[in-house]
Structure 1
Amino acid sequence: MKPPRLQKGDKIAIVSPASAVAAYVPRRLARGIATLEKMGFEVVLMPNATAVHSHTAGTIGERLQDLHMAFADPSIKAIISTIGGFNSHQLLDELDYELIRNNPKIFVGYSDITALFTGIYQQTGLTTFVGPALLTQFGQFDGLDPYTEESFKRTFMQTEPIGRIEASEEWTDEVLRWDVADDRRREHQVNAGYTIVKTGVAEGPILTGNTGTLLLLAGTPYLPSFDGVVLMLEDDESETPETIDRYFTQLRHMGAYDKIAALVVGRFPRKVDFDPDFPLKDIILRATRGYDFPIILDADFGHTDPVTTLANGVQIRVEATDSVTLDVLEAAVE
C-alpha cells in the first residue's frame, strides 16, 4: 500500500517519537521548518514535538497522541520526524494500526525511528521511508543538500519509477554543535563512490533502516520477513567495530543471509573508527561467509550527509559487477 504523493501547498506534520532534542535547539528547529516552507509546504508542529519527559520527547501517551492526530487529520499529507534517538519502539504495541491503514500517508524518519516505520510497514503494509529528518537535514545552515532534496522530491512528489540512485559527489560527517556552532556549511570531502564487497545481480523489495534498531524487533511481531529482500542497513557514530560485527553476526544467526537477495550498507561516520587492518569489508565478509549474494558498502544513507530517501517494500535492482548500479524500479507514492 503506497501513500498519496506530496504536492506543493500540502501540510506536513512534525513529530518527535523518540528523543527530546527538538526542545533544546530552537534555532535549528526553526531553520528546519523554514526550509520546508521555502519548498512550498505548510508545516504543522504537533503539540508534543518539543515536549520533554526524562529522556524522551513526552510520555508514551503524548508521543502516540501526536502520531494518531497526524494520521487522522485528512489535511496532513506527510509526517516527518525531528530526529531519532532512543525508545520509539515503546510505541509499537499501542499504535492504532487500523487508523494508519485507513489513512495512508508518507511517514519518514531515520535512525531510531526505524522501529516505528518498520513496525508500521509490517503491521499495515504501508510503504514507509528512511529519509531526511527535520533537525538533522532540513535544519542545516544552508538547508537541504541538493542531493538530499532531489531524492526527497523524486521519491515523494512524482509517480514515475524513482530510477537510479547515483552516488553523491561529496559527503560530510562533520559535527557542529547545534544552536552554538552550526552557523556555516560543514566541510565536505569527495565521495569515492560505492564499494563492492561481493559481486552479483539481484532484485527484490527494499527493507531498510538502522541496524541496531531493526534488530530490537527480532522475535517480535514487528519485524518483516527477510525473504527475497534487498537489505539496506546503516548505523551511527556511537557504534564501534565490535558492535557492528555483533550486529552482522546476529543477522547470520537469525537466518537472514539464507533469505535476502542482496545487502547494501550505508556509509558509516569516521568516528566508528574501523581497524584499517580489518575494516568493515572484512567484518562483513566474515559474517556472510558461505553466501554469494551481492554486497555493497558506502551508499548515501544513514548518519552522514547527503542522504537518499529509501522506501520499504519498493522493488530495487542491484548490480555489482565492474561497477555498481542501484535502480529503483517503481514509484513509492501514488
Structure 2
Amino acid sequence: MTLKGRALQPGATIGVPAPSSPYYARSEILRGVEWWTARGYEVVLGEGVFDRTGWVAGDAEARAKDLMRMFTDPEVDVVQCLQGGWGAAQMLPHLDFDAIAANPKPFVGYSDVTALHAAIARHTELITFYGPGLAGVNDPETKEFTTDRLIKALTSSEPLGEVPRNPDDDYVRQLGPGHVIGQMAGGCLWLLSHSMGTPWEVDLDGKIFFFEDVYESPPRIDALLTHMEQAGALDGIIGVVVGELHKCDWPDDNDDAPLMYSAEDVLEMHFEPLGIPAIYNLPMGHGKHLATTPLGATVTLDADARKLTVDEAALTA
C-alpha cells in the first residue's frame, strides 16, 4: 500500500539529517536554515550535520540514527537531507524501515540520496520527493524556479500537475512514442545501477523509469544502463523519463569528440528500440533548475506531447 506524508503546514518543522557528504562551508547550512525560518518554519538540525569524516558526514551508523530520529520525532514534519555527494548507501543496513513506515513524512533529497529513495520505496512504499537539499535552497546560484517548486511540492495536498520545463531550455526530446500511466521510480543513474544485487535495489517492475546524472561520460552512461539491462532491472519498465544529463558530454577540448557518441546518442541506442513512451530533458537533476517531483506517485507520461504530469496527490491534507 502506498504511504504518504502530510503536506507542510504553516510554522511546521523541517528536520535535516546529513546522510551523504558533509558541508564545505558552514554558511551553506546557516543559509539554508535562514531560508526556511524567513518563511515562518522551524528547522531542527541532526546531531551529525556538522560532522566530517573524509567524504561523508560521520560514520554510517551515526548517520542512520540521525535519519531515524527525524522520522520518529513527532515534532519533525518534513525530512530534508543536507545534500547529496557520496556515501548514503553505507547507511542502508542500519535503517529501520518499519519505523519509517510507521511515521510517514515527506522525505526530500536528490543525487546520492537516490540510494535512500530506492530503499525506502522498496521497503515501505512511501512516496518521497526528488528535490534539493538544505544546502542548496539558499545558495546564490539556486534559482526561484527550484525553490518555488520545492515549496509547492511540499505544501500541496492536490496533484502537482505537469512538471514544468526548463525556463532556459524548454525543449524536450521524444525518444519513444505513446502514452502511459503508472508510478515513477528512479533517481541518479549511477546510484540506481550500483543498487543492483542488493536488498535495497530500485524496483522498476511495471513502473516509469526516471533517471538523471552529472559528470558521467557517454561510455559511462552506456555502461550503467547496460549493467541495469543485464541485471534484468529494466525488463518490466513501461516508460522512461530522462531528466538532465548535466555535463555528461565530451569536453570541448577533446579533439575526438565529434567522432564519438554523445549522451543523447546513448539514450537513443538504449530506449528507441523498446518502443515505449520515453522523453528526455526535463529539469529534474543537477542543472541550474530542479523541479521537485514525487517518486512513487501515479503520473502520466505522454511522450507524443513530450510532457510528464503528476496525477496523484503525493501528500495528505
Could you say whether these structures have the same fold, taking a TM-score greater than 0.5 normalized by the shorter chain as the test?
A: yes
Deviation at 1:72, TM superposition (A): 1.4
Taking the aligned partners of 1:36 and 1:276, their CA distance within structure 2 comes to 46
Aligned AA (1:41): Y
Counterpart CA distance in 1 for 2:313 and 2:175 is: 28
- Provide the rounded CA distance (Å) in 1 between the counterparts of 2:61 and 2:284: 31
Percent identical residues:
30
Q: Any conservation in 1 of the 2:249–2:263 contact (CA below 8 Å)?
A: no
Match of 1:160 in 2: 158
Gaps of 5+ in 2: 252-256
Return the letter of the residue paired with 2:306.
V
Q: CA deviation at 1:131?
A: 0.4
Structure 1 runs of 4+ aligned residues shifted over 4 Å read: 274-277
Identify unmatched segments of 5+ residues in structure 1.
171-190
For 2:249 and 2:18, locate their aligned partners in 1 and report how far apart those are by CA, in whole Å.
26
Q: Contact between 2:248 and 2:263, CA under 8 Å: does it hold in 1?
A: no
8 Å CA contact 1:131–1:152 kept in 2: the answer is yes
The structural deviation recorded for 1:224 is: 4.0
Q: Quick check: 1:327 aligned with 2:316?
A: no
Q: 1:270 offset after TM fit, Å?
A: 2.9
Query: Structure 1: how far apart are the matches of 2:79 and 2:71?
Result: 8
Deviation at 1:101, TM superposition (A): 1.2
TM-score scaled by length of structure 1: 0.87
Q: What count of residue pairs does the alignment treat as equivalent? A: 308
Judge conservation of contact 1:14–1:81 (CA < 8 Å) in 2: yes
Q: Deviations over 1:210-239 (max 9, x none)?
A: 1111122111221243222111101112x1
Structure 1 pair 295–288 and aligned structure 2 pair: CA distance change class (3 A): same
Deviations 1:176-222 (A, max 9, x none): xxxxxxxxxxxxxxx14211122221111010211111122111221
CA shift for structure 1 position 122: 0.9
TM superposition shift of 1:151: 2.0
1:1-334 map, 5 Å: 1-20=3-22, 22=23, 24-135=24-135, 137-141=136-140, 144-170=142-168, 191-237=169-215, 239-270=216-247, 272-273=249-250, 275=257, 278-288=261-271, 290-321=273-304, 323-334=305-316
SS of the aligned residue for 1:317 comes to strand
Q: CA deviation at 1:91?
A: 0.9
Contact preservation (8 Å) 1:208, 1:310: no
Residue 146 of structure 1, CA deviation: 2.3
1:155 corresponds to which letter in structure 2?
A
- Taking the aligned partners of 2:186 and 2:104, their CA distance within structure 1 comes to 19
Amino acid at match of 2:167: E
Deviates more, 1:268-277 or 1:289-298: 268-277
Give the secondary-structure state (helix, strand or coil) at the position aligned to 1:245.
helix
Cα distance in 2 for partners of 1:258, 1:27 equals 45
Q: By how many angstroms is 1:276 displaced?
A: 5.2
Q: Secondary structure at the match of 1:267?
A: strand
Task: Provide the residue aligned with 2:254 in structure 1.
Answer: none
Q: Name the amino acid aligned to 1:150.
A: D
